[in-house]
């Protein structure tokens, strides 16, 4: 199995360095948690993997493809293989849940007819099957804006599955959810990792959750990797340093 | 200690605000005085002219007689006599209505396509953004009547000139309004579409359009009201519709016909305003459920 390789990745915004020379290899089929306080560059790192943010320097490689070099169709194909869920769920509130899930198929199976709101029967069945996995079938014709936060995030996961991805990037997926919904969303991510073998790379704020669900943790501080190891290797000392408690 | 600092800071904020408020009022007052000097508002022309306005209004009023009100078009003093030309008016009014409708439909379709290119957050690059913005400004900046005169000269007298003139203006103003709606939209759903590998068209169709559609429809209906009014005026320069007839009867001093046509136009505009206002309210109401 070929890992996702990140080499000497850097990102500079005007006068701040968000990511400063990150080298990582992320194995397939595992849940990797990226931890660190806000502003440590977690989100920037994740968004460079699917190129929502362009790196200033360095390369990302997957299956012998240099992700950081591709353009146009190849880039869209990569993005569809590498799904993302967001802190704010990023659903289209005014559209119903089913359409929101169907949107996930656009990158993989696009036809001009989609622009007129047409989706093929197979894709609709796919979408309903995915919704059913997260017990959301009865919500499928409701506007997604009327759902609770936890439900919206699970719709977002169903949308991500529509892409038939190899990797799932999760950018602070539970930061705006209560503990009960957080658990449900994390359980669902664990489920798709174990059942479908999808590699999960997940930004997390909460150390507790990260230790519980992740196979491997990567600690970021000021754009640099300061910890890389199994959850049980993360000592109190390191986590204190990671969150820089007395620095504020 | 903190309280004292807070208080003095607060006071200086209030002082600053007061200064700006007073300056603003002063600037507006000076503006009013200057402009009334420039346009010579005190001139005797104005004072002497006002009574003539009354004269004209009384001349164009129909001479209706209460006993003959509902008699045939041949009897003086009847409504039918006043509106003897009604079939022609209605035909021209229908033409005006259609001019406005066609210009609104074509104009807002063009505006929709251009607006994506003219909004900062959806434009593919800054060159396209800049160019389309300037083109829209040109279409919006040139008054409809100038376009109408130009196209009457090019295409001859008739409604086509008016339709093209209004279409261009509608494209310009709606294109700008639409693009501002796009700029105020939430870019998160668009991010999600991009991240799922969707192309630009599907980003617009699924990420942006559902958010902005109610606003766009509301603007289109408002523009339709404006175009109905505009298309009556365009007739004055030969661009078709009821305006052309109005211009004729004014020039030939067919006084009673002037009031007949104006009343018809006012009624049409009011009823369309009411209807589209009702529609707009309903669209926004439904969307806010």
Residues sharing a CB contact under 8 Å with residue B151, sequence separation 6 or more, in sequence order: B160, B161, B162, B164, B165, B239
Q: What pLDDT is stored for residue A1 in this prediction?
A: 58
Facing B191 at nearest CB: one of A52, A80, A110: A52
Cβ–Cβ gap A79/B194 under 8 Å? yes
B108-130 average pLDDT score: 92
The 8-class DSSP code of residue A96 comes to B
Alpha carbons A5 and A218: distance in angstroms, whole number: 14
Q: What pLDDT is stored for residue A248 in this prediction?
A: 42
Facing A86 at nearest CB: one of B192, B206, B287: B192
Structure tokens at B21: 């408020």
Cβ–Cβ gap A91/B210 under 8 Å? no
Domain that holds residue A38: 4-247
Facing A77 at nearest CB: one of B192, B193, B197: B197
CA distance B211 to chain A (A): 7
* pLDDT above 60: residue B289: no
Cβ–Cβ gap B196/A86 under 8 Å? no
Percent of chain B at pLDDT > 90 equals: 50
Q: What pLDDT is stored for residue B182 in this prediction?
A: 94
Cβ–Cβ gap A91/B192 under 8 Å? yes
Q: What pLDDT is stored for residue A128 in this prediction?
A: 94
B contacts of A87 (beta carbons < 8 Å):
none
ipTM here: 0.89
User: β-pairing, A4-13 with A224-229?
Assistant: unpaired
The answer, for A92 touching chain B at a CB cutoff of 8 Å, is yes
* pLDDT above 60: residue B159: yes
Structure tokens at A23: 């080298």
CA distance to A29, A60, A206, A217, A243, per residue, from A227 (Å) = 21, 20, 16, 8, 12
Model pTM? 0.78
As a whole number, the mean pLDDT across chain B is 88
- Least confident residue range of B48-52, B229-233, B238-242: B48-52
Residues sharing a CB contact under 8 Å with residue B231, sequence separation 6 or more, in sequence order: B96, B97, B99, B100, B103, B162, B166, B239, B241, B243
Alpha carbons A218 and A211: distance in angstroms, whole number: 11
What are the residues facing A217 on neighbouring strands? A33, A229
Domain with residues B89-287, CATH architecture: Orthogonal Bundle (1.10)
Structure tokens at A190: 């664990």
Searching chain B, which residue's CA lies closest to the CA of residue A71? B197
Searching chain A, which residue's CA lies closest to the CA of residue B288? A94
Alpha carbons B182 and B209: distance in angstroms, whole number: 9
Q: What pLDDT is stored for residue A112 in this prediction?
A: 86
Domain count for chain A, please give it. Answer: 1
C-alpha dihedral, B40 to B45 to B51 to B52, nearest 10°: -120
Q: Is A29 exposed, middle or buried (0-12, 13-18, 19+ CB in 10 A)?
A: middle
Cβ–Cβ gap B205/A114 under 8 Å? yes
Q: Which residues of chain A have pLDDT under 50?
A: 247-248
* pLDDT above 70: residue B285: no
C-alpha dihedral, A191 to A197 to A198 to A202, nearest 10°: 60
* pLDDT above 50: residue B128: yes
CATH of the domain at A91: 3.40.50.300
Cβ–Cβ gap A76/B198 under 8 Å? yes
B83-96 average pLDDT score: 90
Structure tokens at B52: 């003539």
B contacts of A95 (beta carbons < 8 Å):
206, 210
Alpha carbons B91 and A197: distance in angstroms, whole number: 71
* pLDDT above 70: residue B23: yes
């Amino acid at each position: 199995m070929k890992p996702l390789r990140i080499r000497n990745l850097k990102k500079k915004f005007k006068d701040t360095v968000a990511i400063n020379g990150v080298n990582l290899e992320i194995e397939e089929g595992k849940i990797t948690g990226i931890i660190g306080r806000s502003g440590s560059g977690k989100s920037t790192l994740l968004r460079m993997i699917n190129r929502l943010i362009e790196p200033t320097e360095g390369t990302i490689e997957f299956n012998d493809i240099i992700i950081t070099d591709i353009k146009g169709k190849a880039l869209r194909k990569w993005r569809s293989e590498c799904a993302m869920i967001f802190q704010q769920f990023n659903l289209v509130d005014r559209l119903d849940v089913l359409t929101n899930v169907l949107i996930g198929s656009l990158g993989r199976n696009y036809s001009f007819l989609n622009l007129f709101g047409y989706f093929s029967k197979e894709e609709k069945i796919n979408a309903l099957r995915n919704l059913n996995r997260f017990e959301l079938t009865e919500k499928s014709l409701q506007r997604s804006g009327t759902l609770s936060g936890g439900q919206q995030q699970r719709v977002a996961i169903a949308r991500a599955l529509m892409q038939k991805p190899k990797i799932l990037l999760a950018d602070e997926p539970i930061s705006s959810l209560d503990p009960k919904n957080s658990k449900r969303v994390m359980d669902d991510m664990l489920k798709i990792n174990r059942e479908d073998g999808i590699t999960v790379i997940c930004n997390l704020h909460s150390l507790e959750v990260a230790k519980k669900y992740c196979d491997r943790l990567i600690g970021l501080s000021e754009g640099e990797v300061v910890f890389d190891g199994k959850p049980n290797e993360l000592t109190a000392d390191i986590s204190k340093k990671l969150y820089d408690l007395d620095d504020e | 200690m903190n309280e004292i600092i807070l208080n003095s800071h607060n006071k200086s904020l209030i002082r600053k605000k007061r200064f700006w408020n007073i300056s603003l009022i002063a600037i507006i007052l000076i503006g009013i005085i200057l402009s009334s000097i420039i346009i010579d508002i005190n001139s005797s022309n104005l004072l002497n002219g006002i009574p003539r306005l009354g004269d004209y209004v009384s001349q164009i009023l129909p001479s209706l007689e209460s006993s003959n009100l509902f008699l045939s078009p041949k009897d003086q003093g009847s409504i039918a006599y006043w509106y003897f030309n009604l079939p022609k008016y209605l035909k021209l009014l229908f033409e005006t209505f259609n001019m406005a409708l066609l210009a609104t439909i074509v104009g807002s379709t063009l505006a929709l396509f251009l607006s994506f290119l003219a909004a900062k957050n959806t434009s593919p690059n800054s060159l396209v953004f800049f160019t389309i913005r300037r083109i829209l400004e040109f279409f919006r900046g040139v008054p409809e009547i100038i376009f109408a005169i130009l196209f009457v000269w090019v295409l001859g007298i008739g409604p086509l000139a008016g339709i093209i003139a209004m279409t261009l203006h509608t494209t310009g103003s709606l294109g700008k309004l639409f693009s501002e709606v796009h700029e105020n939209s939430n870019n998160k759903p668009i991010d999600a579409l991009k991240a799922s590998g969707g192309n630009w068209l599907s980003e617009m169709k699924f990420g942006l359009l559902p958010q902005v559609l109610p606003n766009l429809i509301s603007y289109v209906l408002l523009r339709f009201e404006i175009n109905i009014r505009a298309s009556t005026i365009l007739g004055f320069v030969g661009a078709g519709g009821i305006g052309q007839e109005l211009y004729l009867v004014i020039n030939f001093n067919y006084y009673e016909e002037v009031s007949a046509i104006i009343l018809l136009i006012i009624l049409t505009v009011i009823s369309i305003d009411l209807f589209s206002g009702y529609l707009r309210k309903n669209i926004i109401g439904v969307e806010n459920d």
